[in-house]
Every structure is written in C-alpha cells, then in structure tokens.
Chains A and B, each alone.
Chain A
C-alpha cells in the first residue's frame, strides 16, 4: 500500500489505514438487526449506476449494523469508505454476502480482507442467482400464472405473486441469518490466521476482479482499415483474434493509473462520457 504524505502526522499511521482502531469485538447483532438488514437489502439497487453499480445501496443495507458495531467514528468512516467500492452481486442472494460481511465487520477484520471477501463471494453469485431466479423460478411461476390468466381467472395474478414471493422472501431472510451465524462461527479460525486468511481472500478477490474486467467492461471499436479491396475490421479481425477484451483491460489499467495519480472518479466519469459520445459521433466506437 502506498503511504500518503501526511500519514506520519496522522494518528492513524500507528494503526495503519487498513486496520480498525478499536479491535475489540463489536456488539452482538440480534435477530432484529439481521432482519432489518434483510429488509433494507430490498433497496440494493436504489442508486444503481454504471460506475460502482450497487455500492451505495449495499452500504444502505449495512448501515444500521455498521453503526452498531463501530462505535468509534473514524472506524465507522473507514468501514463506510470500504463499502462504497464497486459491487455487483445478485439482488436476491445479496443477504448471504451481507451476513458473512457483518460477521467479519463485527470481529474487526482488516478493511481490505472484508472487501476482498465481499467481491470473492458476491461477484460469482450473479450467475448462480440468474440461473435460480430468472431462468427457473420466474418462468415456472409466470407460466402457471399466465395459464390461469388466459382462462380468465384473477387467480393467475394471485398464484404467481404468492408463489414467487414465498420463495423469494424465505430465501432472502433465511440466507441472511444463516450467513451471519456461519460467519460468526468461522471467526475464531479466521482470527487465529488473520494474515493468511486475508491473503487467501485477496487471491480469490483479485482473480475475480481480473475476470470481471474482461466481462463487465464493454468497449470495442468499429474502426476498419481498407487496403485495396481488403477490409480489415480492427475489432473482429485483429483484437478478438489476438487478445479478446484487450480494450477493456487497457482502459481499466489506464483508469487505475490515473486513480493512483490522484484523479477523482468524477474527472474519470467526465472523461469517459466525453470519449464515448465523441467516439460515437466520430464513428470509431
């Protein structure tokens, strides 16, 4: 981790940016706290956007519990800053990730291990959840409902709504409690091997981020080179053959370099939007 210039004057330098100052285990979270988190998880995508996706909605879900765990304001701020990081997980299975993360927060794991775990568990949930809910549960419930409706029965709407939501809400709340308990019981093992667990979580986290860059960043060029009769499409004939997702990787690494040089995300957004609109008008995107 690069150290910032003013950190030696800061009291934080003793503890380190990554660790919580107050290392004592936080207040036990009750069933009510976990239920509250599960209710709030319904707004996971309230402030969805293309830069961080569900980050602010995710933080919204955790806030009451975080506030209870981190009585020290600086620790709360550290936790909140960490949870503003990019997240895209499945909106139905999110409580499973939240439960585990809250158990880790409560035992005051390092910010970077918590964030690595969040990505390592949260990101792969997307595929699982899509298969479970949108490709299985929804077509089944929708099929039954539509069949009844086409026979002119209002029961189509009722059956669909009840069937879908019984599964939906039992999973949402069940997973929240299950994951939190599981997280809490795993904490002694994690505590005994803090550094190694953090390292292992980062390995999974960074691998998944590498994969996400190739999957979630969509950037391709429509450029063509005409040499006599031959038309070479840069994207299909050159980039895709040599290195698919080359442009997304290049762009992400450029952004990474700029972030490290202190560019604010707002400047990067303005840069990105300008580039995209100009590129579209000029015809190379």
Chain B
C-alpha cells in the first residue's frame, strides 16, 4: 500500500500533537494503544491499527520518562512503526525494529533541544525582572511550537521518503557531538542549583546541605526519605528555639 503525501502529512500532524502530549498535557493519548488506531484510521485500516497499537503498548510498557531520563521515543516508534506495519504488512515486532533508529534519533534530538533551551532561561530572568508576563508566556508557546515541529519532521520524513533513505540521515549525525551534548545535559542542572543557592544559601544552612549530600551520595536514600529526615531536623529546631526566645519577650512582642 502506498502512503499518499496527504496521509504522511496527517501522520506528521498526529506526531506533532502526540509529541506535545508526552511532556505537556499528559493525557497519554500518545500511548501506542491510542495512537495505533488513529494511525490505522488515517491509513484506512483501523483494524490493523488497533492490533499493532496493542502490541506496541506491551513493547513500550514501563518505558516512561522517569526523573528526566529519556527512554526510546514512544511516539516516533509508534507512528513510524505502525505506519510501516500497516503499509507493508510486516508484523508489529518487525516494524518496531525499523522504527527504533528514528526513536533513538529523536531522543538525541530532544537532548539537543533541552540543551538549546537553556540559554533562553537568562532571557526569562530579564523578563521576570521587568515583570513581563507576555514575554514569559511567549517563550513557553514558542518552545512548544519548536518541539512539535521537530516531531512532525521526524514522523513525516521517514514515512514520506521511506525508511532506507531516512535511515541514512540518522547515520549522518556526528555521534561524538551528540554524546557531548548529552554529557552537557547531565551536568547542566549544576548551574540551576548554583543560581538557587545564591538566593537561599546562608552559612547557617551549610551543615544541612552537607547532610543532604551525604544522604544521597553515600547512603543512596530516596529524596523523599531525605526530605522526611530534614523535616524532623527542622521541627526539632522549630520547637527548641521557642523556649530561649521568652527571655527577649519584649522584643518579640514588639515584632507582632
């Protein structure tokens, strides 16, 4: 079965919408079980779409973006995979194999986008300084548009030009550079923390910072456990200080 230009375009639009839903909206219409039937409907074979969607759902189950880590991209994997399965008649598992290079390439691309968005943050700082509400909103909308268009291209191109041609494009990407950006992405939260510490850090809090670090680095405790322990320390501190304060009672009453 040939996929027409219009159909490829519509699948691209579907990837645009689903791509936004993966991080924003989160209605999970981007899961294979929903996307499969929609791809089938666009290509005029709803029944195969439903079956492929069900198979891919099981393949991708458990692959969710946990704590900022990027799993193989479920949307491109499903849209491209299901389109191949329906148009060529291969089984869903084989179709996934064809789609995986694109799913991986999209993952790298998202790493790149998330790095490229970082310099925008200083611009947002300046907008915040000027209480520029429209500006902050515009940055968010533009970022959505860029992300969605990126998904559109990665669904449209492989489907329209065929997997072999698009596969060559994937291989042309300089791997070390992409890896380097991935490494940079891993380090970059340090800058965010540094800015945050500039606001919040006082000498009195250094011991608590150390305790938190020790808990996570050596003891490998979950953040929730560390927050719980920190809450206990904060409560001890909160209750302990209520007694000595009474000596300076006059001052305290003045304050209120």
Given A111-B199, A252-B193: A142 and B57 interface contact (C-beta under 8 Å): yes
Query: How long is the Cα–Cα vector from A194 to B217 in the complex, in angstroms?
Result: 33
Q: Does any Cβ of A come within 8 Å of B247's Cβ? A: no
Contact partners of B215 in chain A: CB under 8 A: 207, 210-211
Q: Does any Cβ of B come within 8 Å of A199's Cβ? A: yes
Rounded to whole Å, the gap between the CB of A16 and the closest CB of chain B is 13
Contact with A along B55-72 (1 / 0, CB 8 A): 101100110101110000
Q: Chain B binding site: helix, strand, loop or mixed by DSSP?
A: helix
Rounded to whole Å, the gap between the CB of A45 and the closest CB of chain B is 4
Q: Does any Cβ of B come within 8 Å of A228's Cβ? A: no
Contact partners of A276 in chain B: CB under 8 A: 180-181, 183-184, 187
Query: How long is the Cα–Cα vector from A193 to B252 in the complex, in angstroms?
Result: 10
Query: How long is the Cα–Cα vector from A10 to B128 in the complex, in angstroms?
Result: 19
Contact partners of A45 in chain B: CB under 8 A: 23-24
Contact partners of A209 in chain B: CB under 8 A: 193, 196-197, 200, 209, 212
B229 and chain A: residue at smallest CB distance: A207
Number of A-B contacts (CB under 8 A): 399
Let me know if A214 and B213 touch, CB within 8 A.
Answer: yes
Contact with A along B100-122 (1 / 0, CB 8 A): 00000000000000111111111
Let me know if B213 and A210 touch, CB within 8 A.
Answer: yes
Q: Does any Cβ of A come within 8 Å of B167's Cβ? A: no
Given A45-B23, A207-B208, A211-B226: A156 and B53 interface contact (C-beta under 8 Å): yes
A215 and chain B: residue at smallest CB distance: B216
Rounded to whole Å, the gap between the CB of A159 and the closest CB of chain B is 9
B48 and chain A: residue at smallest CB distance: A152
Let me know if B47 and A152 touch, CB within 8 A.
Answer: yes
Instruction: Enumerate chain B interface residues (CB-CB to A < 8 A).
Output: 23-29, 31, 33-34, 36-37, 46-47, 50-51, 53-55, 57-58, 61-62, 64, 66-68, 114-122, 124-125, 127-131, 133, 136-137, 139-141, 143-144, 176-177, 179-181, 183-202, 204-205, 208-218, 221-224, 226-231, 233-235, 237-238, 241-242, 256
